[in-house]
């Protein structure tokens, strides 16, 4: 135990025990500067956007159940009639004010991409779990700038409102990448494209402010005794992410603003008919959007480091290698944007970017080896967080390895812009980040809400998501290699079987998330009260109550052991009888 006397303050309530009265409670939450409340508000807002993006994904898969065909046939009276089959989203044409079923599909995949990237996955882990746990894991009362933190939540919600407004006006069909000159010329007499671009622009500020807040917090607010290399690896992941957010996001902000200028005031920057260069846009866009891939994955990697160490009660293997590889990935991530546009650039540039891209694969591989080595000789619990961590190792390894043929120039010319790429980045983004995020939510759920969840239900949800995910996306690798381009509302007959399997898989994923939703609601209503430290973690969040008190700790904690010294320290809140320590602890530090 790292603090001496907690008896004196026992009457202090948990962070969410507010004033009586519904209105007063809502007012208290809306004006709070408590990082925990803000983290929970982020969690709910982000999950809502995940729901919207998920519905769009299901719609996309539903349209692709069968190819669109115009057929001529005889009806009962022998009269010839022409019918169109397979346009499954055609019913939405009027609601979305679209010209054709194809346009409905194009808006659906744009909506899916834009919502999932800008409103869900970029803020997902750092803004929700990061906000809640970064200060507690540092041993601080709050982030460095609590009011800025609340402001960034409001900016996030404003950005999302712009996006939702654009969707309610019918949505946009630019693709989430807004490639020019298509994005500056499509739907020219409508505001919805501008609204969607502005949504991404506004969300960028939320990202920058959160990133700055975290960088300063990590530098200035570490508890006494916590050196840089005593930080939990989750914080290293969030710290590296924050640096990328602060450095890369301004670039996309400027780029999106230029896009708006070109659309509204016809200033030729990207559109060649006005003297611009469309590939310039792609360079600007990926200069942000490639590093942001690591904004999505680095905090997820941090979660996995925590989950694997805690649930196997083992010191993480190669702590410094994991910490430095996070920073290494953050650095190299700025030098590889060109691999998204091999088919649009000159030969010399393509060769350079191909080489640099392989560089970024190495620190990622090292992390996977380290996690695996951590399991060695552990005491491995099989529960929902650990199942998700194991699922992560499976899917993320596939995601990483299938990136190799994309970095290789000769094979990328075939695979670029096909379903192979779609499958690859879903294995990284969903199989990586979403899977780790779900694992992290289960891991910290008892701490955040003070209630346990149903373990069997959680594991069932995890297995359904895992199985459904692999059915949905593994098929898409074969679609891609066989010649199916991405962003197609229609396809040639030979691809139908694989598309059908993929669509059925998406329904299993839906079932899995519905199980999770049920488990979470049941836990909030009637969950068993959670102990202070249900898993036996050694990081500082397990030294305070579940849920934490408003100021996190009764006294400023002092760090006396490393975050992963499971072989030396009985975890706080545990009886030594229930937690056997090995007879001969490791002599390494």
Partner 1 sequence: MNMPLLASTNMSFLQRIFFGNHGASEAAAWSDGLFMMIFWFSAVCFVILMALMVIFVVKYRRKPGVAAQPSPHHNLNLEILWTVVPSASMLVMFVLGFEGYAMKMVAPDSAMELKVDAWKWAWKVTYPNGASSPETKYISFDDNMLALEAGEADALIETMGLEYPIFYVPEDTAVKLRMHSQDVIHSFWIPEFRTKMDVMPNRYTGYGFQTPKLKSTDMVLDQTTMLDIPGRDMWIFCAEYCGDEHSRMAATLRIVPQEIYEAKIKEWGTPKDPIELGKTIHKTMCAICHSVDGSPGTGPTWKSGNGYGFGYDAALADGTTAPRDANYLRESILDPNAKVVAGYVPAMPSFQGQLSDVEIDGLIAYMQSLSDLGPNQEETNEETPEAADTAGSESP
For the segment 180-199, give every residue that binds partner 1 (CB under 8 A).
181-182, 185-189
Binding residues among 551-570 for partner 1 as defined by CB under 8 A:
566-567
**Least distance (Å) from partner 1 to the CB of residue 405?**
5
Output the CA–CA distances (angstroms, integers) from residue 256 to 23, 118, 183, 285, 474, in the order listed: 39, 13, 11, 8, 34
Binding segment for partner 1 among 33-41, 358-366, 445-453, 501-509 (CB under 8 A)?
358-366
What residues form DSSP beta bridges with 529?
Answer: 451
Helix (H, G, I), strand (E, B) or coil at 190: coil
User: Is 526 among the residues that bind partner 1 (CB under 8 A)?
Assistant: no
Minimum CB distance to partner 1 smaller for 413 or for 514:
413
Q: Phi and psi at residue 4, in whole multiples of 5°? A: -80, -55
> To 10 degrees, the CA torsion angle through 23, 29, 33, 38?
-170
User: Is 588 among the residues that bind partner 1 (CB under 8 A)?
Assistant: yes
What residues form DSSP beta bridges with 451?
Answer: 529
User: Is 490 among the residues that bind partner 1 (CB under 8 A)?
Assistant: yes
**Least distance (Å) from partner 1 to the CB of residue 99?**
7
Minimum CB distance to partner 1 smaller for 319 or for 449:
319
Q: Could you tell me the two tokens for 255?
A: 């780029």
- In angstroms, rounded to a whole number, what is the distance separating the alpha carbons of residues 274 and 285? 20
User: Is 511 among the residues that bind partner 1 (CB under 8 A)?
Assistant: no
Binding segment for partner 1 among 50-58, 243-251, 294-302, 377-385 (CB under 8 A)?
377-385
User: Is 384 among the residues that bind partner 1 (CB under 8 A)?
Assistant: no
Minimum CB distance to partner 1 smaller for 335 or for 522:
335
Q: How many residues contact partner 1, by CB under 8 A?
A: 109
Asked whether 240 and 329 are in contact (CB, 8 A), the reply is yes
Please report, in angstroms and rounded to a whole number, the separation of the first and last CA atoms in the chain: 19
Please confirm whether the linkage preceding 343 is cis (ω < 30° from 0).
no
Q: According to CB under 8 A, which one of 157, 164, 380, 463 is a site residue for partner 1?
A: 380
Binding residues among 43-72 for partner 1 as defined by CB under 8 A:
69-72
Asked whether 160 and 261 are in contact (CB, 8 A), the reply is no
- In angstroms, rounded to a whole number, what is the distance separating the alpha carbons of residues 503 and 65? 6
What residues form DSSP beta bridges with 80?
Answer: 74
Q: Could you tell me the two tokens for 135?
A: 């200060």
**Least distance (Å) from partner 1 to the CB of residue 383?**
9
- In angstroms, rounded to a whole number, what is the distance separating the alpha carbons of residues 407 and 194? 33
User: Is 165 among the residues that bind partner 1 (CB under 8 A)?
Assistant: no
Helix (H, G, I), strand (E, B) or coil at 500: helix
Q: According to CB under 8 A, which one of 66, 230, 277, 531 is a site residue for partner 1?
A: 277
Minimum CB distance to partner 1 smaller for 102 or for 454:
102
**Least distance (Å) from partner 1 to the CB of residue 98?**
9
Element (H, E) at 395: helix 384-401
Q: According to CB under 8 A, which one of 224, 264, 456, 494 is a site residue for partner 1?
A: 494
Site string for partner 1, 331-350 (x = CB under 8 A): ------------xx--x--x
Binding residues among 398-457 for partner 1 as defined by CB under 8 A:
398, 401-402, 404-405, 407-414, 416-418
**Least distance (Å) from partner 1 to the CB of residue 521?**
29
């Amino acid at each position: 135990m790292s603090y001496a006397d907690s008896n004196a303050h026992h009457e202090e309530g948990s962070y969410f025990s507010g004033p009586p009265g519904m209105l007063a409670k809502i007012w208290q939450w809306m004006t709070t500067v408590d990082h925990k409340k803000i983290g929970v508000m982020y969690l709910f807002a982000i999950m809502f956007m995940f729901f919207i993006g998920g519905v769009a994904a299901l719609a996309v898969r539903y349209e692709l159940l069968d190819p669109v065909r115009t057929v001529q046939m005889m009806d009962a009276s022998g009269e010839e009639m022409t019918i169109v089959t397979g346009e499954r989203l055609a019913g939405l044409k009027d609601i979305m004010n679209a010209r054709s079923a194809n346009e409905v599909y194009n808006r659906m995949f744009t909506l899916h991409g834009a919502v999932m990237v800008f409103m869900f996955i970029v803020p997902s882990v750092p803004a929700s779990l990061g906000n809640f746990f970064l200060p507690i894991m540092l041993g601080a009362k709050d982030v460095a700038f609590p009011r800025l933190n609340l402001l960034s939540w409001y900016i996030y919600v404003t950005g999302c409102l712009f996006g939702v407004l654009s969707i309610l006006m019918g949505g946009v069909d630019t693709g989430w990448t807004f490639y020019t000159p298509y994005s500056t010329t499509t739907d020219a007499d409508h505001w919805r494209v501008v609204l969607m671009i502005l949504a991404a622009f506004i969300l960028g500020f939320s990202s920058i402010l959160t990133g700055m807040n975290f960088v300063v917090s990590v530098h200035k607010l570490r508890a006494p005794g916590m050196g840089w290399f005593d930080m939990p690896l989750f914080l290293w992941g969030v710290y590296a992410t924050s640096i990328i957010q602060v450095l890369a996001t301004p670039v996309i902000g400027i780029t999106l603003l230029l896009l708006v200028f070109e659309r509204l005031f016809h200033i030729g920057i990207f559109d060649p008919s006005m003297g611009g260069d469309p590939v310039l846009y792609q360079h600007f866009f990926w200069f942000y959007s490639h590093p942001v891939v690591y904004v999505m994955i680095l905090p997820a990697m941090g979660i996995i480091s925590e989950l694997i160490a805690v649930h196997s009660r083992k010191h993480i293997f190669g702590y410094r290698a994991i910490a430095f590889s996070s920073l290494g990935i953050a650095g190299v991530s700025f030098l590889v944007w060109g691999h998204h546009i091999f088919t649009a650039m000159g030969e010399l540039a393509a060769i350079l970017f191909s080489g640099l891209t392989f560089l970024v694969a190495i620190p990622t591989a090292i992390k996977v080896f380290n996690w695996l080595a951590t399991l060695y000789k552990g005491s491995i619990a099989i529960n929902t967080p650990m199942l998700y961590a194991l699922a992560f190792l499976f899917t993320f390894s596939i995601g990483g390895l299938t990136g190799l043929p994309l970095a290789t120039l000769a094979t990328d010319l075939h695979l670029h812009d096909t379903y192979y790429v779609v499958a690859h980045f879903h294995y990284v983004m969903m199989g990586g980040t979403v899977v780790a995020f779900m694992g992290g939510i289960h891991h910290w759920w008892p701490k955040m809400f003070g209630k346990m969840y149903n373990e069997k239900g959680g594991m069932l949800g995890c297995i359904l998501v895992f199985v459904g995910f692999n059915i949905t996306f593994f098929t898409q690798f074969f679609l891609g290699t066989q010649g199916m381009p991405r962003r197609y509302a229609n396809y040639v007959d030979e691809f139908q079987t694989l598309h059908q399997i993929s669509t059925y898989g998406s329904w299993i994923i839906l079932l899995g998330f519905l199980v999770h939703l049920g488990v979470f609601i049941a836990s909030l209503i009637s969950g068993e009260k959670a102990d202070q430290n249900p898993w036996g973690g050694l990081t500082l969040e397990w030294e305070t109550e579940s849920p934490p008190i408003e100021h996190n700790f009764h006294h400023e904690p002092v760090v006396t052991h490393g975050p992963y010294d499971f072989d030396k320290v009985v975890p706080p809140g545990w009886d030594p009888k229930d937690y056997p320590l090995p007879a001969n602890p490791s002599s390494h530090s």
